[in-house]
Structure 1
Amino acid sequence: MRTVIFDLDGTLADTSGDLIAAANFCFRNMGFGDVLDVEYDAGIALRGGRRMLTEGLTRLGRFEEAMVDRYYPVLLEAYGEHIAEFTYFFPGALEAVEALRSAGYGVGICTNKPEALAEQLMQTLGARDLFGALVGADTLTVRKPDPEPLRETARRLGGDPDLTILIGDSDTDRNTARAAGVPSVLVTFGPSGDDMAALEPEALLDDYAALPMVVDALIGRNS
């Protein structure tokens, strides 16, 4: 089986609103008030909890690694309690997943979000059953851009890790696919979309409606 593996945050769904809300909860708890802004900091949010805490504390001139370590579990707990208040799938994402499944591809998720939170989010959004496998940041002992999580996702789908493709939105995804020796498709509609072309993926995706055709061209069953 050939497989199509998706990143989650910033690729399948815009999770930035809920992530920033969790980070700002931490900053308020520290006594600083809201530090990050949804409109301007979405790209930072999609880099993960530690990155948000680091960025906020740096802006305040109060960065300490120990403070990030202390509040990261607080952020994860706050995020888990309000995981899908503002999150939404990008237009056409689930329709593209359905089309790929119907065409015979195995479809999974490989994310640097902790596995339990990724599972919780997909269950809450009612879309977990569309994906045959989900590998998170802590599923294995390594995480993206190490290629092993991508390969493991393909294997859990019953696929050949050499016959897969990664759909993502960052240099992390590009580097993961490159390390695995497989193609990557980077979406241009996320917060960092304007920067994707410089990463030179095998394809750029402006609209999920085009994804099945792009996948067929890159790893199609008859290619």
Structure 2
Amino acid sequence: MTGTVVFDLDGTLADTSGDLLAAANACFAARGLGELLDPVEDALIAFHGGRAMLRAGYGRMPEDVLLPPGAEDEDYNRLLQHYGENIAVHTRLYPGAVEALARLDAEGFRLAVCTNKPESLAETLLRELGIRDAFAALIGADTLPVRKPDPRPYRAAVEAVSGDLGQSFLLGDTETDRRTAAAAGVKVALVAFGPEGNAISRLKPDALLHHFDELPELARNWLR
């Protein structure tokens, strides 16, 4: 049976931090607060989601500034709108990603994406990056009533490509991915080329991926 490789998106396939932080900063600027997040220093915050970025920025506001009730929900909607309209300005695929996907496909592996990005935004981004057709299935944050680290989105991704759970693994970049794999009972490889670098080894994944060149061999070792 052909094995299945399930990919996270943000921070795994592509560095999306620049566009995510720009969307958050647009919310702060709309309130006259300027850009509260740094595109380099705060890159890691971006991969924890829109609300995490907003709360990080709020924590840097002057003490005499008070937000109106419902500000976070309002800003979150504004963030999503801005991000959707500027989704691939700064975003870039990590080196070797395209080649690794092509190699995995040529060797017959089933490929899917399981992300906590809203499905419509994930669809748009993958198409903008030119790799949507590499994946037979995409499960987003709102595809099911639950999201990672609940194992059901992962299982749905494997099922959607007619794969076998026991012959699959997850490639990700955060503790959420680590917990998702544990809940689903599958192996996880975490990338060491994201914002945390080799420090991601603190999560004790089954493997660290230092470059996408290493992925096809890892898939062969784990799934064949």
TM-score (norm 2): 0.95
Report the Cα offset of residue 66 of structure 1. Answer: 3.1
Counterparts in 2 of 1:52 and 1:131: CA distance versus 1, 3 Å: same
The share of aligned pairs that are identical, in percent, is 50
3-state SS, counterpart of residue 38 of structure 1: coil
User: CA contact under 8 A between 1:107 and 1:157: conserved in structure 2?
Assistant: yes
3-state SS, counterpart of residue 134 of structure 1: strand
Aligned partner (choices 180, 183, 190) of residue 176 of structure 1: 180
String of CA shifts for 1:44-83, please: whole Å, max 9, x gaps: 0111111100111022255788322121010000000111
Residues 1:84 and 2:85 aligned together: no
Residues 1:159 and 2:163 aligned together: yes
User: CA contact under 8 A between 1:14 and 1:90: conserved in structure 2?
Assistant: yes
3-state SS, counterpart of residue 218 of structure 1: helix
Counterparts in 2 of 1:53 and 1:96: CA distance versus 1, 3 Å: same
Report the Cα offset of residue 124 of structure 1. Answer: 1.4
Aligned partner (choices 103, 107, 110) of residue 111 of structure 2: 107
**What are the within-5 Å matches in structure 2 for residues 113-192 of structure 1?**
113-192=117-196
**Which residue does 2:197 correspond to in 1?**
193
**Which residue does 2:219 correspond to in 1?**
215
In structure 1, C-alpha distance between the alignment counterparts of 2:96 and 2:189, rounded to whole Å: 16
In structure 1, C-alpha distance between the alignment counterparts of 2:9 and 2:46, rounded to whole Å: 13
Aligned alpha-carbon RMSD (Å): 1.4
Structure 1: 5+ residue runs without aligned partners?
Answer: none
Residues 1:52 and 2:84 aligned together: no
Report the Cα offset of residue 194 of structure 1. Answer: 3.1
Counterparts in 2 of 1:23 and 1:210: CA distance versus 1, 3 Å: same
Structure 2: 5+ residue runs without aligned partners?
Answer: none
Report the Cα offset of residue 162 of structure 1. Answer: 2.5
What is the count of residue pairs matched by the alignment? 220
3-state SS, counterpart of residue 70 of structure 2: helix
In structure 1, C-alpha distance between the alignment counterparts of 2:70 and 2:105, rounded to whole Å: 45
String of CA shifts for 1:130-177, please: whole Å, max 9, x gaps: 111110000000000001101100111110122210000000000000
**Which residue does 2:36 correspond to in 1?**
35
Question: Which amino acid in 1 is paired with 2:125?
Answer: L
User: CA contact under 8 A between 1:54 and 1:63: conserved in structure 2?
Assistant: no
